[in-house]
Amino acid sequence: FAGERLPKPERGKMRVHKINNVNKALDFIASKGVKLVSIGAEEIVDGNAKMTLGMIWTIILRFAIQDISVEGEGPGYLPPGRRRLPNPLRLIRDLSPSAETSAKEGLLLWCQRKTAPYKNVNVQNFHISWKDGLAFNALIHRHRPELIEYDKLRKDDPVTNLNNAFEVAEKYLDIPKMLDAEDIVNTARPDEKAIMTYVSSFYHAFSGAQKAETAANRICKVLAVNQENEHLMEDYEKLASDLLEWIKRTIPWLEDRSPQKTIQEMQQKLEDFRDYRRVHKPPKVQEKCQLEINFNTLQTKLRLSNRPAFMPSEGKMVSDINTGWQHLEQAEKGYEEWLLNEIRRLERLDHLAEKFRQKASIHEAWTEGKEAMLKQKDYETATLSDIKALIRKHEAFESDLAAHQDRVEQIAAIAQELNELDYYDSPSVNARCQKICDQWDVLGSLTHSRREALEKTEKQLETIDELHLEYAKRAAPFNNWMESAMEDLQDMFIVHTIEEIEGLIAAHDQFKSTLPDADKEREAILGIQREAQRIADFNSIKLSGNNPYTSVTPQIINSKWERVQQLVPKRDHALQDEQSKQQSNEHLRRQFASQANIVGPWIQTKME
């Protein structure tokens, strides 16, 4: 950021070395006019995240945002590597309590001027004004119009706008993607510092004011040959060779990850490692420190005598030793972590295996008989009330099944953990777990199939029940009509005149004219019963008993209808016979009247 050389950091890894190095950085920052309040090297070394983040923001503010020129940068884009000097008259030069505000105002003013011509862009701050993504796209379009099709952007699609700007900036402007579109959109007030930092990258990319990173510190120094220090060189070579040889022998031992099956074996390995830490390593640490001291002393003497620097044999440089030592410590750290993890793994294995067996046994006991229960077809002979009871019972089972889902997942999770911990009997655990999971899938499938069958049967039984009810409603009046008709057809009649018998014949003819409609009604009623039976047969439903709504069966209807059919011709014959009889009587009456009309006057004459 600063582009300046800092004091050489100390190479040691002790706490005091780290604190000194951090203090060098803090002193440099303070030398640039930055007021560091309540920021100490000890807290940063100790990992105070809040303090470290605050320090990072201070660095960003001072070296990336503070020196922003509003009028001193041109409108064009400068590729990476080309730099334009900022206008010194318009730079913010101090970091007093108002420095952050001034830097923010300068950056905000630059953004406002660049985005002013763009529709739907009104930059008033570094949080809400950037949520829809249009401001980012406007900045890019202002300087590189060929990269953004601004007119096609929609204000109501902020995620697409933000991702478009981030991707273009990363691909064409070498600006890394520091923000996440979803985080910005889903946050009521986006992080102001994050957006300021990201926007400052646009400023530096477009204005060319970003300061180039300082080159890596050159560490090679010209050493003078000093024959007087040949003894120190020989000591260095021998000490370095011995130390590197010890590192070479020790690393393979630390990298050995041969697993053990018992805790006792792993605890012995841990004890050997502790002996290494207490007994074998400390002398080597002293040798390494002495080696570095000797090397530095030798180099100082060579420099003071204006001789070339001492160049150790290939592979024996201090950096080589540090690299080897670093590999040693990495292997040591990995070995220690592996030992502790192995011990924890072996301790957990027995516990997990027993836990797996207990849960598996409980689950297997619960599932016993469940498949047979789900496969039974008791619904085929059930009534509508029975099927509703079966459905309620099945719903209770489904709730029980759902409650056991967690148990199955726990069993699978334990089996997975046993596999991850390399349990020696994992094959049997996996086989049992797979059997439980397969059986669980079967139970789920059977449960679903039984529910479908129960619901289908319920629907069919409801249809049959409606047909039974309709049958009963129509069969009852039709049965009453047939009974009344049979009574009328069997009713005795006494007539004395032709007019009376002819009235009865006319009424009987009227009754016979209704028989076709009655027969149709009979067929319709019987058709309802046949439809109910057809539905039952098609769906393999065994109907139990007669129609629950009526005692009038199809057999009764057919029997009474046949009786009506038989009584009709009998009634015809009886009426015809009576008609003939009345006609004969009428003829006799007429003869009698004729004779009486002749004899009557004669008798009257004789009597007179």
Q: Which residue has the higher pLDDT, 411 or 311?
A: 411
Same structural domain for residues 436 and 513? no
pLDDT category at 35 given cuts 50, 70, 90 is: low
Where is mean pLDDT largest: 135-139, 269-273, 395-399? 135-139
Q: Is residue 544 part of a domain?
A: yes
174 and 92 part of one domain: yes
CA gap 131, 179 in Å, rounded: 11
What integer is the mean pLDDT of 268-297? 88
Q: What average pLDDT does range 152-171 have in this prediction?
A: 93
pLDDT of 100: 52
Greater confidence (292 vs 54) lies with 292
The pLDDT of 61-80, averaged and rounded, is 48
Distance CA 448, CA 374 (A): 9
Highest mean predicted confidence (pLDDT) among 68-82, 483-497, 549-563: 549-563
List the domain range (segments joined by +) for residue 259.
227-345
Annotate 70-133 with three-state secondary structure.
Answer: CCCCCCCCCCCCCCCCCCHHHCCCCECCCHHHHHHHHHHHHHHHHHCCCCCCCCCCCCHHHCCC
Q: What local confidence, expressed as pLDDT, does residue 121 receive?
A: 94
**What mean pLDDT do residues 496-521 have?**
87
For residue 413, what pLDDT is reported? 92
- Assigned domain for 471 exists: yes
* pLDDT at residue 165, as a whole number: 94
172 found inside a domain? yes
Same domain, yes or no, for 443 and 472? no
Range of weakest confidence among 85-89, 151-155, 158-162, 450-454:
85-89
Q: What is the pLDDT of residue 223?
A: 36
Percent of the chain with pLDDT over 70: 86
Mean pLDDT of the chain: 80
The last residue of a domain, from among 415, 432, 454: 454
Q: Do 439 and 502 fall within a single domain?
A: no
Specify whether 241 is located in the same domain as 364: no
582 part of a folded domain: yes
Please give the average per-residue pLDDT across 161-174, as a whole number: 93
DSSP per residue, 435-488? HHHHHHHHHHHHHHHHHHHHHHHHHHHHHHHHHHHHHHHHHHHHHHHHHHHHHH
Instruction: Report how far apart, in Å, the C-alpha atoms of 151 and of each of 92, 120, 138 are.
Output: 36, 11, 10
Confidence of residue 171 (pLDDT cuts 50, 70, 90): very high
- Judged by DSSP in three states, 427 sits in helix
| pLDDT, tens digit (0-9, with 9 covering 90-100), for 572-604 | 898 888 888 878 877 787 777 777 777 777 788
- Concatenated DSSP letters for 222-279? -----GGGHHHHHHHHHHHHHHHHHHHHHHHHHT-----SSHHHHHHHHHHHHHIIII
pLDDT value, residue 222: 33
Q: Do residues 235 and 294 lie in contact, with contact meaning Cβ atoms separated by under 8 Å?
A: yes
pLDDT band at residue 228, thresholds of 50, 70 and 90? low
Q: Is a pLDDT exceeding 80 seen at residue 142?
A: yes
Task: Read off the pLDDT of each residue in 463-485 and give the average, rounded to a whole number.
Answer: 86
pLDDT range class, residue 204, cuts 50, 70, 90: confident
The residue whose two tokens read 């007021």 is: 35
Number of neighbours of residue 85 by Cβ within 10 angstroms: 10
Q: Are residues 24 and 173 in the same domain?
A: yes
Question: Which of the four pLDDT bands, split at 50, 70 and 90, describes residue 82?
Answer: very low
List, in order, residues 6 or more apart from 497 with CB less than 8 Å away.
582, 586
Residue 350 confidence (pLDDT): 81
Q: Is 398 part of any domain?
A: yes
113 pLDDT above the threshold of 90: yes
Per-residue pLDDT band for 110 (boundaries 50, 70, 90) equals: very high
Poorest-confidence range of 231-245, 286-300, 433-447, 525-539? 525-539
pLDDT of residue 105: 86
Please check whether residues 42 and 187 belong to one and the same domain. yes
- As given in the structure block, the two tokens for residue 531 are 């439809």
Look at residue 32 and tell me if it is in a domain: yes
Of the ranges 30-39, 114-123, 339-348, 525-534, the best mean pLDDT one: 114-123
Is there a domain that residue 491 lies in? yes
Strand partners, 95: 34
In whole angstroms, give the CA distance from residue 505 to residue 583: 14
Q: Are residues 431 and 491 in the same domain?
A: no
Query: Residue 112: which pLDDT band, with cuts at 50, 70 and 90?
Result: very high
Residue 95 in this model has a pLDDT that exceeds 80: no
Pick from 345, 369, 387: which residue ends a domain?
Answer: 345
In a domain, 46, yes or no: yes
Indicate whether 398 and 501 sit together in one domain.
no
pLDDT of residue 123: 94
pLDDT at 347: 81
User: CB under 8 Å, gap of 24 or more: what pairs does 524-533 form?
Assistant: 524/474, 525/471, 525/474, 525/475, 525/478, 525/554, 525/557, 526/554, 526/557, 526/558, 528/467, 528/470, 528/471, 528/474, 529/467, 529/471, 529/554, 531/467, 532/463, 532/464, 532/467, 532/468, 532/471
Q: How many CB atoms lie within 10 A of CB 341?
A: 12
Distance between CA atoms of 71 and 362, rounded to whole angstroms?
78
Once rounded to an integer, what is the mean pLDDT over residues 433-445? 91
Distance CA 488, CA 585 (A): 26
**Is residue 76 scored above 60 in pLDDT?**
no
Q: Confidence band (pLDDT; 50, 70, 90) for 70?
A: low
Average pLDDT over residues 230-239: 83
| pLDDT(327) > 60 | yes
**Per-residue pLDDT at 158:** 94
Same structural domain, 440 and 314: no
Give the containing element (helix H, strand E) for 503: helix 498-513
User: What is residue 77's predicted lDDT score, i.e. its pLDDT?
Assistant: 36
Residue 458 and residue 389 in contact, taking contact as beta carbons nearer than 8 Å: no
Q: Which of 207, 235, 257 is the last residue of a domain?
A: 207
Instruction: Supply the pLDDT for residue 157.
Output: 94
pLDDT of residue 94: 34
CATH of the domain at 433: 1.20.58.60
Q: Could you tell me the two tokens for 207?
A: 């204005």
**34 SS3 class:** strand
Strand-pair partners of 34: 95
Q: Check whether 75 has a pLDDT greater than 60.
A: no
Q: How far apart are the first and last CA of the chain?
A: 170
Q: Confidence class of residue 115 from pLDDT cuts 50, 70 and 90?
A: very high
| Mean pLDDT, range 69-95, rounded to an integer | 36
338 and 359 inside one domain: no
Tally the domains of the chain: 4
Both 358 and 341 in one domain: the answer is no
Whether the per-residue pLDDT at 485 is higher than 50: the answer is yes
Looking at the predicted structure, is the pLDDT value of residue 220 above 50?
Answer: no
Tokens of 346: 């072996």
Q: Which of 156-170, 476-490, 541-555 has the lowest mean pLDDT?
A: 541-555
How many Å apart are CA 418 and CA 411, to the nearest integer?
11
In the chain, count of helices (H) and strands (E)?
19, 0
Mean pLDDT of the region 534-549: 74
Can you give the pLDDT at residue 460?
Answer: 78
Confidence grade of residue 88 (pLDDT, cut at 50, 70, 90): very low
CA-CA-CA-CA torsion sign (440, 442, 443, 444): positive
- Residue 218 — pLDDT band, cuts 50, 70, 90? very low
pLDDT > 90 fraction of the chain, expressed in percent and rounded: 21
